[in-house]
Amino acid sequence: MCVLGLGLIGGSLLRAAAAAGRPAWGWNRSAESAEQARDDGYDADTDLRAALVRARDQDAIVVIAVPEPALDSVLDRIGEYAPDCTLTDVVSVKGSVLAAVRRHGLADRFVGGHPMAGTAESGWPAGDVDLFRGAVWVVAAEDDTDPDDWTRVARLALDCGSVVVPAGADEHDSAVARISHLPHLLAEALAVTAAAGGDLALALAAGSYRDGTRVAGTAPALVRAMCEANAQALTVALDEALALLTEARRVLAETGGTEALVEAGHAARGRYDNLDRWEISDAAIGAPGWPQALRDAGRRGGVIRAL
């Protein structure tokens, strides 16, 4: 496996793949992270051409783990040196990556990926060999996805200790808008509204404030990169939340009541707590209609724990 980008996610992936016994090497644009990785005993360099030629020669999986703005230049080089390798990524928004891959004519061997793991930290030193253990790793199944490539990418995720959830790029992006990007915008709005109450309000803030604003502590550049790459799906999710809150505001001001929203929210959180992550045990990858069947299973909460 050849991982491009050795930040938190890429760096953790290099560690996890090596720990799983895979031949694995990494590239990073800046020399500092590559050096830190080498100091920690990993195979890392700043020569992108060399990393990709080696991937081509060994038929390795190429994993894109660079920030969204660096995507196009990296895809250029992949097209040049390793266009026939299985290609995946670990970037948080799948639709825009898929579109970029298609623009570069690299869609044939591409399988989008997204490990749902991370911390507020970044960079090689923040990486963790166990970052993906027990996490959910989305492996995208599009209608034209190659079944062998899909299986290779899913096995990489399983080797890192994750469970695999199959989904289409578009439904993935709609889902993460709701469970990852919307929470960030609500946390930012809560932080601002609380601080508008002055030091008295902040002095009284306890658990519900701290939990509700925790992700507002994330570096703005990271939050913006995630949210803005998924602007369309995030707008839909934000509209739904705004509709709920606007109606709640109307009822609160008119009647003093909060029953409808509070009961619905409690029931919805209960649905998460009681979610049945059932195992997809009959995945016939490569059979006619397999991407649709996998996506349907993912939509119903199914996960793959072994292949």
Residue with tokens 């190429």: 62
Quick one: 21 or 271, whose CB is closer to its own copies?
A: 271
Among 58, 73, 258, 292, binds its own copies (CB under 8 A): 258
Quick one: 38 or 249, whose CB is closer to its own copies?
A: 249
Quick one: 49 or 224, whose CB is closer to its own copies?
A: 224
Choose one: 42-50, 104-112, 140-148, 255-263; the region binding its own copies (CB under 8 A).
Answer: 255-263
Q: Is 49 in the site for its own copies (CB under 8 A)?
A: no
Q: Which of residues 170-189 bind its own copies (CB under 8 A)?
A: 171-172, 174-176, 178-180, 182-189
Quick one: 145 or 180, whose CB is closer to its own copies?
A: 180
Q: Is 116 in the site for its own copies (CB under 8 A)?
A: yes
Tokens standing for 45? 């360099």
Quick one: 144 or 274, whose CB is closer to its own copies?
A: 274
Distance CA 82, CA 61 (A): 10
State the nearest-atom distance from the C-beta of 46 to its own copies, in Å: 31
Quick one: 30 or 193, whose CB is closer to its own copies?
A: 193
State the nearest-atom distance from the C-beta of 277 to its own copies, in Å: 6
Crossing angle (nearest 10°) for helices 220-229 and 182-195: 130
Quick one: 22 or 178, whose CB is closer to its own copies?
A: 178
Reference 124, options 249, 280, 6; nearest CA is 6
Tokens standing for 283? 């995945």
Q: Is 69 in the site for its own copies (CB under 8 A)?
A: no
Per DSSP, the three-state class of 287 is: coil
Quick one: 35 or 188, whose CB is closer to its own copies?
A: 188
Distance CA 117, CA 240 (A): 25
The CA R_g of the chain, rounded to the nearest whole Å, is 21
Q: Is 256 in the site for its own copies (CB under 8 A)?
A: yes
Q: Is 245 in the site for its own copies (CB under 8 A)?
A: yes
Range list of β-strands (E), 1-92: 2-4, 25-27, 44-45, 62-64, 87-89
State the nearest-atom distance from the C-beta of 78 to its own copies, in Å: 26
Residue with tokens 């995630």: 226
Burial of 234 (0-12, 13-18, 19+ CB in 10 A): buried
Tokens standing for 202? 């902040």
Q: Is 12 in the site for its own copies (CB under 8 A)?
A: no
Q: Which of residues 181-240 bind its own copies (CB under 8 A)?
A: 182-209, 211-220, 223-224, 227-228, 231, 234-235, 237-240
Reference 97, options 182, 10, 177, 172; nearest CA is 172
Write the DSSP symbol of residue 60. Answer: P
Among 148, 266, 286, 289, binds its own copies (CB under 8 A): 266
What letters, b where the CB count within 10 A reaches 16 and e where it falls short, cover 97-121?
Answer: bbebbeebebbebbbbbbbbbbeee
State the nearest-atom distance from the C-beta of 39 to its own copies, in Å: 29
Choose one: 5-13, 67-75, 99-107, 246-254; the region binding its own copies (CB under 8 A).
Answer: 246-254
Q: Is 135 in the site for its own copies (CB under 8 A)?
A: yes
Q: Is 257 in the site for its own copies (CB under 8 A)?
A: yes
Reference 210, options 223, 221, 194; nearest CA is 194
Q: Is 111 in the site for its own copies (CB under 8 A)?
A: no
